[in-house]
Amino acid sequence: MTAGDARKSAVLATARALNAAGINRGTAGNVSLRVEGGFIVTPTGMAYDGCVADDMVRVAADGTTQDRRKPSSEWRFHRDIYAARAEAGAVVHTHSPFATTLACLGLGIPPFHYMIARFGGADVRCAAYATFGTQELSDAIVAALAERSACLMAHHGMVVFGADLDAALAQAVELETLCEQYWRVLQLGEPRLLPAAEMARVIAKFSGYGQQ
């Protein structure tokens, strides 16, 4: 197996893992991995269980591809996240149930739980709505990700990035977990939020979290 084949296999495995974790279904959502000169992304309109590695699409920084499949309709925001954020090695987008529920209300996630700091700040923003696949949506996502590694997308879903595919997958699972917890808290009333000083301490602690 060539290095390119291995990377395409890893992208497909991550996409399938999203479905197995219950945070993505059918042909919704997409996954990408940064590679030299561009990125590899899942194809448009294909169920991951029916895909093979060669169905994954290598896209150049200018949006062109030579592969046999068409890339995800959302390839623009993958490209733009990589251009804007040097630390992004992989991007995951899903229509997970609880993230999408909050996003359809235009809600971000405030500091109701300290794990919000995992995404780089004291909250998770909700990007403004724009039609899927457009440059307007990509611009809104990049803005909402400023100093963050995750955001919700109004009337759409969520997007996260990580240093690699495993990290991006973990980010997506953690964000959906927090969205579910926040949704459940809202059923009981307004949550008590952690103060800014405490969130600043937690953010500082997360800067070295998990590093051996």
**Active-site choice (36, 74, 87, 147):** 74
The three-class DSSP label of residue 202 is helix
DSSP assignment letter at 124: B
C-alpha–C-alpha distance, residues 71 and 34, integer Å: 14
- Two tokens, residue 85: 């954020």
Q: Which helix (H) or strand (E) holds 3?
A: helix 3-20
Specify whether 180 is catalytic.
no
Cα 204 to the center of its chain, rounded Å: 22
Angle at CA 142, nearest 5°, toward 120 and 94? 80
- Which residues are designated catalytic? 74
